[in-house]
Amino acid sequence: MAGKEINLDKGVVSKLIKDLEENKIVEVKRSGKLILFRLNKKYSHILKKIFEAEKRHG
């Protein structure tokens, strides 16, 4: 996934953000056009494993 561009329409992105927020996976802060995400600590180790696997499989 790293380095690849993904085009998502605004509705898909909004729903994804809402789902992540509702499930307490991320904390979202909006500042103008910026959307800042902070990953819930209990999910960070899972995400780290996903990124490590992605690096290995390129």
Task: Please state the separation of Cα 30 from the chain's center in Å.
Answer: 14
Percent of the chain residues topping a pLDDT of 70: 88
Per residue in 17-28, pLDDT (tens digit) is 888 888 888 888
Q: Are 19 and 34 in contact (CB under 8 A)?
A: no
Query: Which residue bears the tokens 């996934």?
Result: 1
**Would you kindly state where each structural domain of the chain is located, as residue ranges?**
10-57
The answer to whether the pTM exceeds 0.75 is no
At 17, the amino acid letter reads: I
